[in-house]
Structure 1
Amino acid sequence: MDREWRPDVNTAPWGPFVGKGFKNESITHTDVAITCVVWLATLANLIIAGWLGYKQCQSSRSPLRSVYIWMIWLEMAASFIMGLMCFLYVMKCLRPSFYFFCTILTCWCIQVQLLLQIIINRIRLIVPDRRRSKMIMIATAAVVTGINISVFNIWIPARMQINHTYIFVNEIWDRIEKVLYLGIDAALNWYFLRVVKANLINNGLQKYNKLLRFNQRIIMLSLLMDVMIIAAMSIPNSFIYIQFHPLAYLVKLNIEMTMANLIKRIAVSSSRKAGRDNRARIASEFDSGNLSTSGHKSSATRAGTHARRSSLMELSNFGIKSASEREDRTVSFMPTGDQIKVTKDIHIQSDPIDGSEENVGEIVHAKGLQPGETSVVHSKSVDDLTEGGSVKSDYMRKEGDSDDETSLVIHQTKGTWTRLG
């Protein structure tokens, strides 16, 4: 296993910036075996990531406008390109060059930047302070960009073997920046846990306990991926550890997409609380052509007439009277939570006496109007609707009437009061 892999293949470097004393590291059969196993694991995680990304594209209203969707697909593309190029390099299908190392490092920078921004995107879903979450995003991007620039200035010259100083500095700085990324990843995940507990769970949203427990467990796997990269740097061939980057970041990406799905399921589950279905059913019954935005529509609406009515009476003095609930009412569902528990019939009575004061008393249940009687308006209750009652208006609208008036009109014909509709 310590024999060199394909010793007869030409692996001489090409292109600009090649050091005078450039020497290729020997690649053994052990290195090839490790690379093949890691590459197969990378492909497996890439397939899983592609499936999760496809499902999230389907659930997105406008995936082409979603920054999150673009980030996950660019993360997958960068990981695939980087993994493929590293695999081909170990298999001695690619020769070392400035362009090769620059492409590898560019893919790595995209991986790091996008993955941390995906984590921050998850945090921004929970943090109520938009300014703070934006500052976290900007500060993280600035720090990571600074690290990336330093790596470009150190890692590529060291790989091109320009001089021994770059090689020595790279041996130290390469491990330091991996530890820095580990620290940033751990800090962002810790902040997410803290925000979920402080802003959601402590405020009574116990359903997010599932999200907290899942994140506490999965965060260890995510951080172990960074530890795996650091440990892989101890492999004798200093290039082999780069093959672990695509695998680690695809695992992290799968964790983030799984977390996003969990957050969505928990948020949607709120609509399945007790009573929500009943409220939706009531709302759907109100959503008909017989109802306006705030009250009843008349039979004229059913005939296709959309004219507004003008009031035929002036309510110079009105009294709202209250009475006991109807005793013969049938309850179609048991109210829970903030559902309607009590409904009452309210009748508006108009007195022709000028200058009198408003009085509030008990409801007067009037079955009809006789000639010369004061007009009485009947209102419908929610229970009437749920029991199959009609939401039709008892009175005819006239031209100029308002859809949203609470009073209905009584029309006088030939000296007698007649209810129309």
Structure 2
Amino acid sequence: MSNVWRPEVNIDPWGPFIGRDFKNQTTTKTDIIITCFVWAATVINSLIAIYLGYHQSKTSRSPLRSVYIWMIWLELGVSFIMGLESFLHVMKFIRPSFAFYFTILFWWCIQVQLLLQIIINRIRIIVPDRRFSRKIMIGTAVIVTAINISVFNIWIPARCQINHTYILVNEIWDRMEKVVYLLIDALLNWYFLKTVKANLINNGLQKYNKLLRFNQRIIILSLLMDVMIIAAMSIPNTFIYIQFHPLAYLVKLNIEMTMANLIKRIAISSSRKAGNHARIAEEFGSSNLSTSGAKSRVTGNVTTLIKLSNHAFDTKSSAKQADERIVSFEPTNDQIKVTKDIHIRSDPNPDYDGNEPHIGDIISNIQSASAASGLKPGETTVTVSSTSVDDLTEGGSVRSDYGPGKGDSDDEGPLVVHAKKGSWQRLGG
């Protein structure tokens, strides 16, 4: 019994640029088993990616304007098409041709470029130096483009079997460029871990330890996908390893989308806790002390007058003290800023003669607010934080520019900045 898969099917090459001595590789039933297994795993990961991508697109403010949303859907579509086309070729439904090899390589180039840019997109959320992050983005694109051009000039002639020299060079360079991509992937993930630790965890945002630990574990799986591709190149049928590309990059895509969801979930966790503090701020009547949800900028002056006996605490007249207690900042690009606490102390007035009955009500309200927030008697803390956290898939950022100040909590609610229209949006936009 023959071990050759569908020996009766004609798979002779067609079209231009095909070598005169072109020889088809023998496809065995073992090759078909491997191909079917890989294709089934590819379909499963495609369904997972569709689910994750749909969820992120649905929660995105402007999905059609989000660069991140476009990248994940293009990566998903290109990977699926490449896997399907490769599967049909191995099953002998598509004959060898220059057009076939060109399209396979074209999908692969888009696939690699998009996946690395998605990784860089995640890095740019928290990187402190925006210019340096842009250099990483452009530098990686230039390096990958140069490799893609070289592969076009070597891999296609080798597959078309134009001459034996191209085949020998391709045997070496094909493995080398896979190793280069492995190193780039490892370096980008290492830099992400380094930046998370330096700019978030070391600045007091201990809740991002969960993100660090998750990335440390998941990076191993991501790198193993590149190793799997390199190992698959040793399969006797030298085209079978192409089938592993869509599977590997779909797994990587799912990892990136899971990472985006984790970053978003951690970033908004503290903002939910900050709702009680916002209500305490309203009890003090400081309605003019607010944060802009669109720009995450602390604005306005406290104009509330708290009359204690014959003296009035006029926060507007004591602008200098207010500046020391309120940190107003202009976010730079898409960055998280550390929130600061405003401490309002009520001291007994020695000149109080009891002729102002409304004072006791004011102090009673202050003490009630203090008890509700778990603070010591005589001290009330109002945390200025954004209760409206922009979706991270809209260009939010989780970078902290300031170290933890005295009295700051490790679970400070980050102010996520919405990217301006027309700008390059990070992680989802």
Relative to 1, partners in 2 of residues 1:341 and 1:367: Cα closer, same or farther, differing over 3 Å? closer
* TM-fit CA distance, 1:198: 1.2
Relative to 1, partners in 2 of residues 1:25 and 1:340: Cα closer, same or farther, differing over 3 Å? same
Match of 1:16 in 2: 16
1:237 counterpart SS class = coil
* TM-fit CA distance, 1:266: 1.0
Q: Distance in 1 between matches of 2:363 and 2:61?
A: 35
Write out per-residue CA displacement over residues 145-184 of structure 1, whole angstroms, 9 at most, x where no aligned residue.
0000000000001111111111110000000000000000
Contact 1:11 1:95 in 2 (8 A): yes
Is 1:281–2:284 an aligned residue pair?
A: no
Write out per-residue CA displacement over residues 345-401 of structure 1, whole angstroms, 9 at most, x where no aligned residue.
99xxxxxxxxxxxxxx84565439xxxxxxxx989848648969xxxxxxxxxxxxx
Q: Distance in 1 between matches of 2:22 and 2:29?
A: 22
* TM-fit CA distance, 1:25: 0.5
Match of 2:106 in 1: 106
1:302-341 residue pairs with structure 2 within 5 A? 320=311, 338=341
Relative to 1, partners in 2 of residues 1:266 and 1:2: Cα closer, same or farther, differing over 3 Å? farther
* TM-fit CA distance, 1:144: 0.3
Q: Distance in 1 between matches of 2:364 and 2:343?
A: 9
Count residues in correspondence: 328
Is 1:69–2:72 an aligned residue pair?
A: no
* TM-fit CA distance, 1:216: 0.6
CA RMSD of superposed structures (Å): 3.0
Match of 2:166 in 1: 166
Contact 1:82 1:108 in 2 (8 A): yes
Write out per-residue CA displacement over residues 325-350 of structure 1, whole angstroms, 9 at most, x where no aligned residue.
xxxxxxxxxxxx9475634699xxxx
Is 1:145–2:134 an aligned residue pair?
A: no
* TM-fit CA distance, 1:59: 1.5
Contact 2:122 2:260 in 1 (8 A): yes
* TM-fit CA distance, 1:128: 1.6
Contact 2:286 2:304 in 1 (8 A): no
Write out per-residue CA displacement over residues 236-255 of structure 1, whole angstroms, 9 at most, x where no aligned residue.
00000000000000000001
Match of 1:401 in 2: none
Q: What one-letter code is carried by the residue in structure 2 that aligns with 1:124?
A: R
* Of 10-19 and 112-121, the range deviating more from structure 2: 10-19
Match of 2:268 in 1: 268
Q: What one-letter code is carried by the residue in structure 2 that aligns with 1:282?
A: I
Relative to 1, partners in 2 of residues 1:126 and 1:2: Cα closer, same or farther, differing over 3 Å? farther
Match of 1:367 in 2: 356
Match of 2:256 in 1: 256
Is 1:215–2:215 an aligned residue pair?
A: yes
Q: Distance in 2 between matches of 1:36 and 1:8?
A: 20
Q: Structure 2-normalised TM-score?
A: 0.70
Is 1:342–2:345 an aligned residue pair?
A: yes
Q: Distance in 2 between matches of 1:382 and 1:7?
A: 92
Q: Distance in 2 between matches of 1:248 and 1:113?
A: 14
Match of 2:203 in 1: 203
* TM-fit CA distance, 1:88: 0.3
Relative to 1, partners in 2 of residues 1:99 and 1:381: Cα closer, same or farther, differing over 3 Å? farther
For structure 2, the 5+ residue unaligned runs are 289-299, 314-339, 370-429
Q: Distance in 2 between matches of 1:105 and 1:249?
A: 14
Contact 1:211 1:263 in 2 (8 A): yes
Contact 2:286 2:302 in 1 (8 A): no
Higher RCO (C-alpha 8 Å, min separation 6): 2
Contact 2:286 2:303 in 1 (8 A): no
Q: Distance in 2 between matches of 1:105 and 1:380?
A: 76
Match of 2:6 in 1: 6
Contact 1:345 1:380 in 2 (8 A): no
1:220-231 residue pairs with structure 2 within 5 A? 220-231=220-231
For structure 1, the 5+ residue unaligned runs are 298-318, 323-336, 347-360, 369-376, 389-421
Write out per-residue CA displacement over residues 263-292 of structure 1, whole angstroms, 9 at most, x where no aligned residue.
11111112244xx23212235665999xx9
Q: Distance in 1 between matches of 2:109 and 2:363?
A: 60
Q: Distance in 1 between matches of 2:343 and 2:364?
A: 9
Q: Distance in 2 between matches of 1:66 and 1:379?
A: 54
1:286-297 residue pairs with structure 2 within 5 A? 295=303
Match of 1:129 in 2: 129
Percent identity between matched residues is 68
Match of 1:40 in 2: 40
Q: Distance in 2 between matches of 1:251 and 1:25?
A: 29
Match of 1:175 in 2: 175
2:345 counterpart SS class = coil
Larger Rg: 1
Q: What one-letter code is carried by the residue in structure 1 that aligns with 2:356?
A: K
Match of 1:83 in 2: 83
Relative to 1, partners in 2 of residues 1:67 and 1:2: Cα closer, same or farther, differing over 3 Å? farther
* TM-fit CA distance, 1:24: 0.7
Relative to 1, partners in 2 of residues 1:287 and 1:38: Cα closer, same or farther, differing over 3 Å? farther
Match of 2:373 in 1: none
Q: What one-letter code is carried by the residue in structure 2 that aligns with 1:229?
A: I
Q: What one-letter code is carried by the residue in structure 2 that aligns with 1:113?
A: Q
Relative to 1, partners in 2 of residues 1:321 and 1:39: Cα closer, same or farther, differing over 3 Å? closer
Q: Distance in 1 between matches of 2:160 and 2:362?
A: 82
Q: Distance in 1 between matches of 2:173 and 2:183?
A: 15
Relative to 1, partners in 2 of residues 1:51 and 1:382: Cα closer, same or farther, differing over 3 Å? farther
1:203 counterpart SS class = coil
Q: Distance in 2 between matches of 1:31 and 1:321?
A: 85
Q: What one-letter code is carried by the residue in structure 2 that aligns with 1:194?
A: K
1:21 counterpart SS class = coil
